[in-house]
Each structure stands twice: as C-alpha cells, then as structure tokens.
Amino acid sequence: MRSRIKVLSGQSVVLLSVILVMVSLCYAQGYPARAIDIVIPYGAGGGTDNFFRLIQPALSKELNVAVNIVNRTGGGGVVGTSFVANAKPDGYTLIGTTDSAFLLPEIVKPKTIPYHVLEDFVPIAGLGWEPLIVVIRPVPEFESIKTFRDLVAYEKKNPGKLLTACAGVGSPCDIDLKILKTTHGYDPREMIMISGGEIITQILGGHLDWIIATVPVPKPHIQIGKLRALAVVSPVRIPDFPQVPTMIEEGFPEVNVGMDFAALGPKGL
C-alpha cells in the first residue's frame, strides 16, 4: 500500500497557528488593544487567502480582538508586501504569505522590488504547508489527457495550444513551471500575474486550459466533475485524492515546490 501524506486537520492547523502567533506577538503587556490586519498580497479565493481565512476565527477568539484579512493585490504580491514593509511596526499590520512568493521576486527582479525581504521584515511564525494539484478542463478535446504525462505529450503534438496561468513571478506555480522548462524542456504557454481566486474563475470559464493550484481551491470543482485532477505536487499521494498520482510517479520528481505559509511583520516589530 502506498504511503499517504499526513495532512494536518483544520483544527490542528488553527491550534498550531494560534500558539505560534500568540507566543511571538503577545509578549508585550497590553497587546493587542485593537484590531489586527493581516495583509494578503494576493486576491481573495486563492491558496494564501484561503489558508489565513481558515485560522482567522481562532486568532480573533484567542486574542480577543478582530483579526482582519486584507487583500492588497498587484505586482505579483509586491504591492501588498511593500505596504507592510512601510507599516508602523506595532504589531497591528502583518503579512500572511508563502516563502517562495515572498523571497523569490527580489531575486528574480531585484531592481523593481522596493524592499529587502531579509532587512525590512521580522519573521513571526511558519504556520503550515499545502501540496499543489494539477487540474485540467474535462472537455472532449482533452479527453485523452488523464495524467500529467499525457498533458506534456499532448502539448508536444499541439505546441502552444494549452494555456495556463500563475499568481506571479516567484509563486510556487511559477517556480514549478520554470523547473519543468529547465529539467524537461517543457515550456507551456503561460499567463502571469493572475490571483488564485481569478485563476479558478478563468479555468471554469474556459479561458484557461489547465492550472497548478493549492488543493482547496479546485477541490470542490474536481469533486463535481468540472475539473479533472492529473497529478499532485507532493512527496506522496494525498488523502483528498488518493487516486491521483504524484509528480514523482509521473516522472517529474524535480517539480516539488508546494505552499509554505508564514506570518511576518515590518522591521522593528
């Protein structure tokens, strides 16, 4: 029997998040005295937004103040991240993000990033990890595409026909696509700078053909047959879709970047 990845339940993730954030933030006496904003530098409905909205109720309850999820989109995460970098370091404006999306834009395009991630932010806590899943529209035209290997084979026969999208430069999806290009020579036609919530809307509307997303985003649409899962970006198969092979099983072991979530504050916090 194949091993299955042990995914934290929603309650476990919430408990872990509350403990880590509270230990880091509640040390100062009298904090918090008012609402806390957690800035998500991506649109509503995406993987990062979904994760932090999962832990939001428990944080509000334990801290006894409102914890607001504030979406500040633009620039592949740069707009919201820059906003927090320039915020007052009083613990009331934080950022909820992923490690790759937070670190890599400065490496990929350093001249256009108005902050330095290692100098302008204080790390608070790592909060969790989610695998990614590859899905495609289950239309008759793509009936032969059952696995990710099938998708690559289809693309080689029909170059440039399939369209995908990612949330921005440095997003886990973008990194995985770049790994595919450098290791396997597969360079799909890609749109960039689309938020996670918009990506799922675009594929359901037929404007995209396939996407790589965190599992909760397309999960309900897979379950009712509106999308078909091809592979998971995970070391082992996942409980939600045990029938779906991993990218390792599909012959693409280098494609292994998932979503690591973290909370940070501005320098001086």
pTM above 0.85, yes or no: no
Nearby residues of 81 by Cβ (< 8 Å), 6 or more positions away: 41, 95, 97, 102, 115
Q: In terms of residues, how long is the chain?
A: 269
Kindly give the residue spans of alpha helices, DSSP state H, lying in the chain: 10-25, 47-63, 78-85, 99-108, 148-157, 172-184, 196-204, 219-223
Q: How far apart are CA 35 and CA 218, in angstroms?
A: 31
Instruction: Say whether pLDDT at 194 is over 70.
Output: no
Q: Quickly state the pLDDT bin for 176 (edges 50, 70, 90).
A: confident
Interatomic CA distance for residues 256 and 172, integer angstroms: 9
Q: Check whether 58 has a pLDDT greater than 60.
A: yes
pLDDT at 186 over 90: no
CATH number for the domain formed by residue range(s) 132-233: 3.40.190.10
The pair of structure tokens assigned to 73 is: 């989109």
What 3-state DSSP class applies to 223?
helix
CATH 1.10.10.10 assigned to domain 10-130+260-266? The reply is no
The arithmetic mean of pLDDT across residues 160-187, rounded, is 85
pLDDT in tens, 6-32: 444 444 444 455 555 555 555 556 899
Instruction: Look at residue 3 in the predicted model and tell me its pLDDT.
Output: 40
- pLDDT tens digits, 197-221: 788 899 999 999 999 988 988 999 9
Span(s) in the chain for CATH 3.40.190.150: 10-130+260-266
Q: Where along the chain do the CATH 3.40.190.10 domains lie? A: 132-233
pLDDT in tens, 132-170: 999 999 999 999 999 999 999 999 899 889 999 987 777
Euclidean distance between CA atoms 81 and 241, whole angstroms: 33
Mean model confidence pLDDT for the chain: 85
Q: What residues have CB less than 8 Å from 207, skipping those under 6 apart? A: 163
Examine the pLDDT at 263 and tell me if it is beyond 70: yes
- Taking the CA atoms of residue 17, residue 46, residue 134 and residue 211 in that order, the dihedral angle to the nearest 10 degrees is -160
Give the list of residues 6+ apart from residue 65 with CB closer than 8 angstroms, or none: 32, 33, 34, 35, 36
